Amino acid sequence: MSELTTIARPYAKAAFELAVEKGAVEAWNEMLFFAGQVTSDEQVQALLGSIATQAEQSEVIIKLCAEQLNEQGQNLIKLMAENERLSAVPAVAEQFAELKADYDKEIDVDVVSATELAQEQQDKLGAALEKRFARKVKLNCSIDETVVSGLVIKAGDTVIDGSVRGKLDRLAVSLQS
C-alpha cells in the first residue's frame, strides 16, 4: 500500500494545485472519489487486465465515468494510463481528500465509547477537540463495549486513550516492568 501512496502523491498534489487554482476543489474531490470507486471495482480491474493498450484502458475508464469527469479529469486518467498507473487512482483520490481536509482545516476524529454519546456530549467533545487541534472537527462516533468506560479518540496519528480498559492495560504493563 505504501508503494501506491508514493506513486499517487505527485498526481494528487498536481490535481490539488490545479483544483485550487481553478477554485474547484470540491468538484475535483468528487470526481476523483468517483474515479477511484470505478477503478477499484473488481470487475473493472478484470476488464482492464484483459485490455492490452493503455490508451484503450483510459478510454474504458473515461466511458465508465462518463460525465463525472471533466476535461482535466479525463486528461489525468489518460496520463496515469500512459504511465501504467491506473491502479493508483483510488490512492490518488485518498491523497487528494487528505490535501483537501488540510486545506479546509478539517480533521476526522474517530471516537469509540462503551455507550452511545448524547448529542450534548458530542457537541462539548467536538468543541474541545476543535480548540485542541485548531481545526474544524468531524466526529465519527462508534460503540465498543470492550472500552468499559471512558473514550478512545483517534485523530490522524494522535490517539487519546481515556478509557478504563486503556488505564488498566497501562497499569498492567507498568506492574510487569
Q: Which domains does the chain have, with CATH numbers?
A: 2-102 (1.10.520.20), 105-176 (3.40.30)
> How far apart are the C-alpha atoms of 109 and 132, rounded to whole Å?
12
- Nearest CA among 29, 154, 14 for reference residue 80: 14
> How far apart are the C-alpha atoms of 134 and 91, rounded to whole Å?
27
> How far apart are the C-alpha atoms of 15 and 41, rounded to whole Å?
22
pLDDT at position 60 is 83
pTM over 0.85: no
**CB-count exposure of residue 98 (10 Å: 0-12, 13-18, 19+):** middle
pLDDT category at 8 given cuts 50, 70, 90 is: confident
pLDDT at position 133 is 84
pLDDT at position 119 is 92
Whether 52 shows a pLDDT value over 80: the answer reads: no
> How far apart are the C-alpha atoms of 70 and 15, rounded to whole Å?
12
Residues, the chain, total? 177
CA 145 to chain centroid: 26
Query: What mean pLDDT value characterizes the chain?
Result: 85
Segment 95-122 shows an average pLDDT of 87
Q: Helix 89-103 vs helix 25-40: angle between axes, to the nearest 10 degrees?
A: 150
Number of other residues whose CB lies within 10 A of the CB of residue 2: 7
pLDDT at position 85 is 85
pLDDT at position 54 is 81
